Amino acid sequence: MSSPVDVAWAVHKFGGSSLADAACFERVAHIIESQPEPAVGVVLSACKGVTDQLLGLVSLAEEPDGDFRAQLAQLRLRHESLAQTLLSASAAVDYLARLERELADIEGVLQAVRLTRSASRQVLDLVAGFGEIWSSRLFAAYLAHRQKRSGAVRWLDAREVVVVEWGPLGPRVDWDASALRLKTALGTDSHPGTLAITGFIAADPRGVPTTLGRNGSDFSASIFGALLEAVAIHIWTDVDGVLSADPRRVPDAQVIDALSYNEAMELAYFGAKVIHPQTMAPAVGREIPIWIRNTFAPDHPATLICAKPSSELAVKGITSIENIALINLEGAGMIGVPGTAHRLFGALREEGISVILISQGSSEHSICCAVPKEQSERAVRVLREAFARELQDGQIQAVETDPELAILAVVGDGMAGMPGVAAKVFGALGNAAVNVRAIAQGASERNISVVVPARAATRALRAVHASFYLSAHTLSVGVIGPGTVGRVLLEQLASQRQRLLSEFKLDLRVRGISSSRQMLLSERGVALDSWREEFDRSAQPADLEAFAAHVGVDYLPHRVIIDCTASGEVAAHYADWLAQGIHIVTPNKKANSGNLGDYRALRESRSTGGTHYLYEATVGAGLPVIQTLRDLQQTGDEIHSIEGIFSGTLAYLFNVYDGTRAFSAIVREAKDLGYTEPDPRDDLSGMDVARKLIILGREMGLSLELDDVAIESLVPADLVSSSIEEFLARLPEYDQAIQARHEAARSRGRVLRYVGRLTANGEARVGVEEFDAQHAFANIALTDNVVRFATSRYNSNPLIVQGPGAGPAVTAGGIFADLLRLSAYLGARL
């Protein structure tokens, strides 16, 4: 097949959304006028919605009382308005005269349908094709009227050129006949200019009008690209090229720079909005590059589909097919028996059931395949009939179906021969707590397909998309307790959020903030620079169950609740949240130091939900106390004892207290500075230090309860049950006792410190002790924690971790560090 004329052609196709109104026609004309090629073929769909209206006319004609004339009038009015807006008066008269004749022809056909109450395939094709005739003829007249492009503008009715014959695989083009007709249509003009071509429609060998089926206008563009031996085909639509995922489900999906034909076909097969594989075939066979562009943003990035694309991306896109069912045929009698697969797929073929994916283990014990959900019950019935004897004899144990599934496909030529791609896919799915039901991968390694639960499909899509850095790793974050520490944490998150997003593609999206009485929920994320105003304006009554459900939405791959409270009520929910797939980050000591049985159940719930539980800030605020303990144990060191000043609050009190000011005044000062718990008695009672010893002891493997810790409390017995206000008001009554202890220690050249001690055999005690002025515990900064690890390795010279152990900023920083650590566990590249 030779080119009709010796000239470089480019073919541009515009879909219905690009031709919605007069402004759209003007935009398309401007695009065509800016093209550098001397010869341009413009394939046009019907104006947006017109094809559906035309098919609706036929449906109305088949109904006894269907008023198709009113719909015809609407079509007339719409095209009349376009012509009067776009064309000169004389050109509009000519266009509308032909429109009236064709509308009369349609009405005559519909009258015949009304009489028979049935429309044939030929009638549907005839009527449906008028939309392209009207839009392309209008565009040809409009472009000629503008006179901004050199060369003539001609209208070409594709029914006069393209000859197709429908078969089992769709329309088959008669290339020789079509090429001859195009040559005749173009004539001998060596400067063909611009062709405005009807998309979607063609003719059969007898000359009867027909259509090219689904995505017919794209097919038309590919056909004319091949017939004209075009240098390129441009498909203009309403999106910027081909996206790496469905933007409705992955909002930060990006435009793919270049795809091979095979990659485009794989993505299209699995539901991506790419040119349909069948429609690409003419261009593929002649290696004509195809560009996917945005009519409404012609200068935006586009996607090139060609034989040998140049792209640095190993994975080009992640897409999915919804409403899938998995059919499983299982039985020991299948092992080593030839023909089982042939019988299975033959039975499904005879019933006209489409098989989308096939998976079989090497043991041959089972075969499963994915089919459309609506065909699943029929598929099970057919297979039970086909294998009735084997089922009866027990050679096959079951034919089962799971109808609530989806297929996730990861596509990219660059995956071939690259180790670790599958590991990254399954690692991302595992981190997102998505169960994989079946797996399929072709020998080309271009596609990895997995079957996942339908309810987890969006979460799976986002997790895998992010794992290949095609989009940000998104964590749905909920913060409970926006008080002293929580408020500072939100400030820290606000200051770093944009940097983490731009440098590491990490999206820490705070979608909920809850106090004890109210909560603020946001679907797209709370604006952290103004969260207080939004909280005051839009908060609703607090409900921990509803809060967790909101943060733990299925469509975001990773979910975390950060508990900044000291509440036992909140901590009691941890096990359920972890089991539900929600990660926990917290400085709250209640869960890890509570009832030992509850603690063990909490640890077990992490395995159930495949989740992470991070609590470094429970012991040393921002200090790496727990991590140091774990590192020592995991590298084989033996812990003999742990001792230290574990309370930044008590460290501050005994550092500042020198007898010149009342101890009670320093307690109140520490509370005002945010160094104490909301109720200072939680610190002064020694319970906070005791809980830290319990946490460390349990990390060591000790079965400790709070009752096992000998605690010296600094809270007077008759103030234990009073309100916080009464406690602070009456505490000065007891200043003398602590002053006496201070004076006694000073007389011996010693200082008072509140310390905790824990041994490997489980002895634990906390209380006030005296230390020489040269001791490490006597020489610390105001709020320092200092922890000494005596181990087999660090025996004569214990390992010391020291630094600020109290204050909102360092505690929030410790929580933030745990959050980033969690992000890294989940695949973020930090």
Active site residues: 692
Say which DSSP state 731 is in.
G
Q: Which residues have CB under 8 Å from 341's CB, separation 6+?
A: 360, 367
Helix, strand or coil, per DSSP, at residue 617: helix
Residue owning tokens 């959020």: 497
Tell me how many helices (H) and strands (E) the chain has: 31, 31
AA identity, residue 359: S
Q: What is the DSSP letter of 412?
A: -
List all residues 6 or more positions away from 152 whose beta carbon is below 8 Å from its beta carbon.
Answer: 144, 189, 191, 192, 193, 194
Phi, psi for 758 (deg, rounded to 5): -140, 130
The DSSP secondary-structure symbol of 243 reads B
φ and ψ at 784, to 5 degrees? -65, 140
Q: What is the DSSP string of 315-383?
A: --EEEEEEEEEEEEEE-GGGTT-TTHHHHHHHHHHHTTPPP-EEEE-TT-SEEEEEEEGGGHHHHHHHH
Three-state SS at 453: strand
Calpha distance 221→210 (Å, rounded): 16
Judge contact between 365 and 331, C-beta under 8 A.
yes
Question: What are 243's two structure tokens?
Answer: 């996206």
CB 388 within 8 A of CB 345: no
Burial grade of 395 (CB within 10 A; 0-12, 13-18, 19 or more)? middle
SS3 letters across 85-139? HHCCHHHHHHHHHHHHHHHHHHHHHHHHHHHHCCCCHHHHHHHHCHHHHHHHHHH
Contacts of the segment 746-753: beta carbons below 8 A, 24+ positions apart? 746/659, 749/773, 750/778, 751/654, 751/778, 752/654, 752/657, 753/645, 753/651, 753/654, 753/777, 753/778
Tell me the pairing of strands 164-167 and 170-173.
Answer: antiparallel
**Contact assessment for residue 687 and residue 711, using Cβ atoms and an 8 Å cutoff:** yes
CA–CA separation, 366 and 654 (whole Å): 71
With residue 476 as reference, give the H or E element that holds it.
strand 473-480
> What are the angstrom distances between the C-alpha of 67 and each of 370, 502, 793?
43, 57, 92
Can you spell out the DSSP letters for 630-695? HHHHHTT--EEEEEEE--HHHHHHHHH--SSS-HHHHHHHHHHTT-S-SSTHHHHTSHHHHHHHHH
- Scan for tokens 């794989």, then name that residue: 266
Residue 144 CA to residue 749 CA, distance in Å, equals 104
Closest CA to 461 of 567, 319, 360: 319
DSSP label at residue 163: B
CA–CA gap between residue 20 and residue 17 (Å, rounded)? 5
Q: Within 13 A of 493's CA, how many CA atoms are on the CB side?
A: 31
CB atoms closer than 10 angstroms to residue 265: 22
H-run or E-run covering 234: strand 232-237
Neighbours of 372 (CB within 10 A): 17
Reading the block at residue 188, the tokens are: 């001998």
- Could you tell me how far CA 574 lies from the centroid of its own chain? 25
